[in-house]
Structure 1
């Protein structure tokens, strides 16, 4: 039986919705932040250009030729004033740095005016661009910081919101996982007629169809089992009372084989009847005082003929010899458990023909049946599943251990299976009296 597939958090709808919400929000935030960055950078550039033009214009207005008036540079101001009378260019002042052409360090603007006495006065004004570039870098850094924060916040917001919106779906899954096919109960429908309401409605309609089919199947198995039990019991009785002493060996062998096949068919019908009762939920437990020792002796006698044919024998032990092996349980159901376990031991014993049956009274009372098999069985507890058989043992129908396990639980007992060193054991322990 395959285990449940591993589920990772990134495979959940909650993660996918969170990622979708995050992607959309992150895209919107990115556009907004980039737009803010572009506008801020443009505003910084415009402000710096305005400052540069204003300072250059102030220097130009203070400059005159007749008489010569030249303003002195203030701290952080760098400019060059040139007078051109169309005959000669004269630099009146020049404190421009040598690397003024480096646009990463400097910004420069050129202005010109024409005085009344002719010629032209031009001013080349430069300011350091370090503050401007520093401001742009800070804006860019903020952009790099805010975007990851926006991504994280949007993802967490989307993850939390998707968890809130998917809460009804988780509730539906939780309720659906608790549905028992023996007692099908419909899921409670959400009050809001949204998609979750329609999903719950569809699941409820499916559960009603399943419930109807289960009931029809249980009714069929019950009816068919009852109908088959009478003719099979009649056939078995006629075969058992047939006088074999007057027959030759081949005919006796043929009748013995037919008797075993009829017994096998009867066991199958009985198993189907038990299965229909279990799955329909109609199984009732009528408790009474049962002596496990007497029951084991009676049931083992019923296998005497088959044991003789197979060359097998029982080794029955009572521990302690004078123990009280009385338990409170349903006699018919406990008989089915013990018969199934002994039948399996007789059917699958290989090598050593001895089948050990131990009735014990320790902290708990119970029965242990053990026998040697052809090979060790991996994870023998799986054999308690419905219609499950060991790979190397194809006999049987895969119902006996499943029925025994269910009936054990109904009688406050526990069925344990074990396989060590090619010895298979089945133990039934009862809780108290």
Structure 2
């Protein structure tokens, strides 16, 4: 900042000196031309050689002096104000510029009945005076630049102290201490930066708090199935040779399956939190995805003797991630099958409106009480239903995927099957 500010001032100073020189040269040209005209006009028209011989001695020449010469009609030089410089006689009346002895001269000639009056001045002398005047103005300009440099150095250093304090405050922040950085005495210029950092720290704090809660809940949830697996493994060892090996192994397999399902759900939640917003969205045919997921889960539904089928599949496109929409559908249908008693029914429907496409999953299970329909979207929350064997993460994952797609999830009472009806409203793609 100091370099660029002082460089700009130096360039402006150079422009100022150049402009001063050009203006002075133009003003001096007018002044000296008027002076030459006055000198020539002041000589009487009837002056003779006798009067000129009685004039005083010649003058010593200086660079900007005007040289006066008077010639008679025969071309004889009767008077020369500076004897050491003898210019030839020129014939053009009025002002003219001539080249003499490697220099340019401004000439003014006045002709009378008796004489030719010639006034000459060196143009280099005029330029030297303009240069001297411009150089004299350079000294206060340099002093001004020095003072401005010191003031800029002080003001910039003082202004940047607030950034130094801000960086020091930011360096003190830890994952356990993410307080606000804003202070009432901060300069106006860095308040937007401080507010943006405070917003970022607030989001980071929320994310870290959610991560801590998730890890604590996951640890708590994993403790029970792992302890159960350990007990079931011991039971298998104790049942060897007693004829109960098959039953013990079946229980062990069921425990492993439940634990694997829980770990899979935890990993799914973690992936959605870490990279869900970066997954590219593209046009998707929701009815085709619903058909694929329903067909994939029919064998699982058959093991529980659940009649899983499709009620209505309207064609329509949405914008979204195919992977995430598959996860949403799988979790909704899996939850419906898991919570529906043996011999029940689960129907899948896609209904297309003018601006939205609604996915509906309806089952013949016990449903969810109205007072608990908001809480079931919390992680690891389970309704007190005897058939429930899930991890408490299915609907939390559904809500998370719906939020990523700007969709709305609603839970209500089924109209046809009298169980739970879960609906997800997507915006229709153009």
TM-score band w.r.t. shorter chain = 0.3 to 0.5
Larger Rg: 2
Q: TM-score under structure 2 normalisation?
A: 0.41
With structure 1 as the length reference, what TM-score do the two structures score? Answer: 0.41
